């Protein structure tokens, strides 16, 4: 097993909702971390981590100007702000949850 | 390059009532924006209008305006742009007109921007009978699923297109110091003043893009000045957190900052987190004004609590405008109990089972139910195993059903557990959980040419109904 670090060592993040979808913006601390996360923090990895929320798709977009990735998690909010039965109906805590994800150390 | 300073002191309905006055009294602003409308706020307002045709706007706004009156009197240059009009900008202007007249500011001009409402002659006494305008060739299919609207057509409560900055610019050019809109894209509250002050054309897409990014960054208030920041540390003062200011020059150069001496922080970190907040494809951040490309946006330090934003590009103007429709989708309720350890999680599960079993045996199980064990690690469910033996757990039960009675009876069964459940159950001092109507969200689009924006600008006194 190669050593891992929590994502929070390499990046910070913010999450929110759009209807029944959520997005998590992950901002790398520096260029090295941005490139490392480009390989280690794939859409597949994020989809697997949040598998319990049964996303219909996870798409990763890049914002190279601020060294960030934007993950859009489709259909993960249990109906969205209007009809979700969850306390976090707007996915506000998805970001801090993702920051605990173990990432192979760079 | 002339620079205008636009401050935003409300990020949603319910934001700090004290922030707007504190902001205009602690820093020089040319414009104060107040952004109140989340996706579903319009449908809540539509319900209020259904009961009372003088309601349906954000009632915080007249309170805030009263608080701002002394500053408006002293700062002759200051203007306010807000979407507080909700589904009833006229009634909002009437309330604002009364406040200003009482404050001796009856000649201040108030403009309203309308045209976002798509319900066809809604019966204001029974908004459920509202029908979508018979816009030929518009299907209003669900933006994500493509589902036709027929499934919910007779349950529509509110339907509003997102307007752009044009109506705001027109109001300002007619001398409005207060501009009250209905559903306008959040970023357009900032784009409007920038276009008006700098005399930009709506073809000037890169400048519109920069102003839209500025608007996006300040629209959620303190979320860009240190609120919600994942780099939070306890030493950053949040009690007097400064609300954000966007400085926009005539070339579209943007700096995000906050009032000097206020709490919070503006750093590349806080600004980048807000840049990615609630976005989809960053190459196409769509507003009615411009299709903005965020991918080249660059942030740079510009001194303490100042961050320079550059590189946004405008790639055309969307042909279709976003429409948000809310429809009646039954009833929901939730209730909580606190269960103290030992065996807090086990006991909480037993409490949930009791409620579910009672509903089942009475053949009154709501269509959807959910049990959460908060404190055991279930804010995002299923990511990791729940904590084995947390000292205490909040059991939260929620239910959704077409019938109000079904959800009410379900959550009521939590209460008796204080005396008839396992030991260590408390936290039920408040009122009974109250069922609330579910107004579900149906995103769709409409062709831009079918939307007509109307602007009316009058002195404050003239808005007061006679």
Q: Do B23 and B114 fall into the same domain?
A: yes
Q: Do B386 and B266 fall into the same domain?
A: no
Would you say residue B119 has pLDDT above 90? no
Q: Residue B466: its pLDDT value, please?
A: 79
Tell me whether the omega of the peptide bond preceding residue B342 falls within 30 degrees of 0, making it cis. Answer: yes
Q: Do B320 and B333 fall into the same domain?
A: no
The DSSP result for B229-295, as a single string, is: -TT--TTS--TTBPPPEEEEETT--EEEE--TT-BS---HHHHHHHHTTT-S-TT-EE-SS-EEE-T
Alpha carbon of A5: minimum distance to chain B alpha carbons (Å): 17
Q: Does B380 touch chain A (CB under 8 A)?
A: yes
Query: b vs e for B17-40, b when ≥16 Cβ sit within 10 Å of the residue's Cβ?
Result: eebbbbbbebbebbbbbbbbbbbb
Would you say residue B168 has pLDDT above 50? yes
Would you say residue B99 has pLDDT above 80? yes
For residues B34-56, average pLDDT: 87
Would you say residue B120 has pLDDT above 80? no
Q: Does A94 touch chain B (CB under 8 A)?
A: yes
Handedness of CA B184, B257, B281, A43 (dihedral sign): negative
Q: Residue B125: its pLDDT value, please?
A: 35
In chain A, residues with a C-beta closer than 8 Å to the C-beta of B329 are: 82-83
Q: Which of residues 383-402 of B touch A (CB under 8 A)?
A: 383, 396, 398-400
Is residue A17 a contact partner of residue A81, using CB atoms and an 8 Å limit? Answer: yes
The CATH number covering residue A69 comes to 3.30.70
Would you say residue B130 has pLDDT above 50? no
Cβ neighbours around B42 below 10 Å, total? 26
Count CA atoms closer than 13 A to B59's CA, side-chain side: 7
Select from B169, B162, B84 the least CA-distant residue to B118.
B162
Q: Do B233 and B365 fall into the same domain?
A: no
For residues A48-58, average pLDDT: 97
Higher per-residue confidence, B450 vs B352: B352
For A70, name the nearest residue in chain B, comparing CA atoms only.
B276
Whole-angstrom distance, CA of residue B217 vs CA of residue B262: 18
Query: What is the residue range of A36's domain?
Result: 4-104
Q: Residue B122: its pLDDT value, please?
A: 43
Cβ neighbours around B134 below 10 Å, total? 7
Q: Residue B123: its pLDDT value, please?
A: 41
Whole-angstrom distance, CA of residue B310 vs CA of residue B46: 39
The CATH number covering residue B341 comes to 3.30.70
Alpha carbon of B307: minimum distance to chain A alpha carbons (Å): 13
Q: Residue B131: its pLDDT value, please?
A: 55
DSSP label of B417: H
Q: Residue B134: its pLDDT value, please?
A: 53
Q: What is the pLDDT of residues B281-308, one digit of tens each?
A: 999 999 999 999 999 999 999 999 999 9
Q: Do B308 and B383 fall into the same domain?
A: no
Whole-angstrom distance, CA of residue B72 vs CA of residue B79: 8
Whole-angstrom distance, CA of residue B21 vs CA of residue A57: 44
Query: What is the residue range of B434's domain?
Result: 328-442
Alpha carbon of A105: minimum distance to chain B alpha carbons (Å): 20
Q: Do B319 and B190 fall into the same domain?
A: yes
Total domains in chain B come to 2
Q: Do B155 and B97 fall into the same domain?
A: yes
Q: Does A20 touch chain B (CB under 8 A)?
A: yes
Q: Do B128 and B230 fall into the same domain?
A: yes
Select from B157, B163, B165, B120 the least CA-distant residue to B138.
B120
Total domains in chain A come to 1
Q: What is the pLDDT of residues B332-358, one digit of tens each?
A: 999 999 999 899 999 999 999 999 999
């Amino acid at each position: 097993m190669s050593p891992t670090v929590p994502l929070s060592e390499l990046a910070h993040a913010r999450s929110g909702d759009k209807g029944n979808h959520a997005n998590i913006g992950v901002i790398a601390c520096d260029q090295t971390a941005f490139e490392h996360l480009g390989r280690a923090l794939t859409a597949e990895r994020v989809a697997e981590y949040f598998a319990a929320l049964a996303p219909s798709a996870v798409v990763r977009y890049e914002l190279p100007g601020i060294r960030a990735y934007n993950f859009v998690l489709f259909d993960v909010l249990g109906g969205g702000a209007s009809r979700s039965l969850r306390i976090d109906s707007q996915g506000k805590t998805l970001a801090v949850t993702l920051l605990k994800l173990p990432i192979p150390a760079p | 390059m002339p620079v205008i300073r636009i401050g935003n002191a409300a990020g949603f309905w319910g934001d700090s009532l004290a922030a707007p006055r504190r902001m205009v009294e602690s820093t020089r602003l040319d414009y104060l924006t107040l952004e109140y409308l989340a996706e579903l706020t319009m449908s809540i307002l539509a319900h209020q209008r259904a009961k009372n045709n003088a309601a349906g706007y954000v009632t915080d706004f007249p309170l805030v305006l009263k608080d701002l009156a002394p500053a408006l009197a002293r700062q002759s240059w200051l203007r306010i742009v807000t979407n507080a009009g909700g589904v009833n900008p006229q009634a909002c202007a009437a309330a604002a007109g009364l406040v200003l007249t009482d404050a001796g500011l009856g000649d201040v001009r108030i403009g309203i921007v309308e045209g976002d409402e798509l319900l066809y002659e809604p019966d204001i006494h029974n908004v459920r009978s509202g029908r979508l305008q018979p816009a030929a060739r518009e299907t209003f299919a669900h933006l994500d699923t493509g589902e036709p609207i027929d499934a919910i057509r007779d349950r529509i409560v509110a339907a509003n297109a997102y307007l752009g900055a044009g109506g705001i610019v027109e109001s300002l050019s007619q001398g409005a110091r207060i501009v009250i809109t209905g559903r306008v894209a959040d970023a357009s509250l900032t784009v409007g003043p920038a276009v008006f002050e700098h005399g930009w054309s709506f073809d000037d897409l890169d400048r519109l893009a920069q102003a839209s990014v500025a608007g996006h960054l300040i629209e959620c208030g303190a979320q860009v000045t240190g609120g919600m920041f994942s780099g939070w540390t306890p030493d950053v003062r949040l009690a007097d957190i400064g609300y954000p200011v966007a400085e926009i020059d005539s070339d579209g150069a943007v700096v995000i900052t906050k009032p000097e001496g206020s709490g919070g922080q503006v750093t590349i970190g806080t600004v980048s987190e807000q840049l990615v907040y609630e976005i989809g494809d960053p190459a196409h951040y769509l507003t009615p004004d411009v299709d903005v490309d965020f991918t080249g946006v660059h942030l740079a330090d510009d001194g303490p609590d100042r961050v320079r934003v550059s590189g946004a590009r405008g790639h055309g103007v969307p042909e279709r405008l976003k429409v948000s429709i809310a429809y009646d989708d039954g009833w929901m309720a939730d209730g909580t109990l606190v269960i103290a350890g030992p065996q807090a999680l086990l006991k909480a599960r037993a409490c949930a089972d009791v409620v579910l079993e009672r509903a089942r045996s009475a053949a009154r199980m709501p269509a959807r139910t959910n049990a959460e064990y908060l404190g055991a690690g279930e804010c995002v469910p299923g990511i990791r195993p729940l904590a084995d033996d947390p000292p205490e757990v909040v059991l939260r039960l929620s239910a959704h059903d077409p019938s109000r009675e079904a959800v009410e009876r379900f959550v009521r069964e939590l209460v008796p557990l204080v005396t008839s459940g396992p030991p260590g159950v408390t936290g039920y001092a408040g009122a009974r959980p109250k069922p609330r109507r579910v107004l579900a969200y149906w995103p769709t689009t409409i062709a831009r040419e079918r939307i007509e924006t109307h602007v009316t600008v009058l002195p404050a006194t003239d808005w007061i109904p006679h």
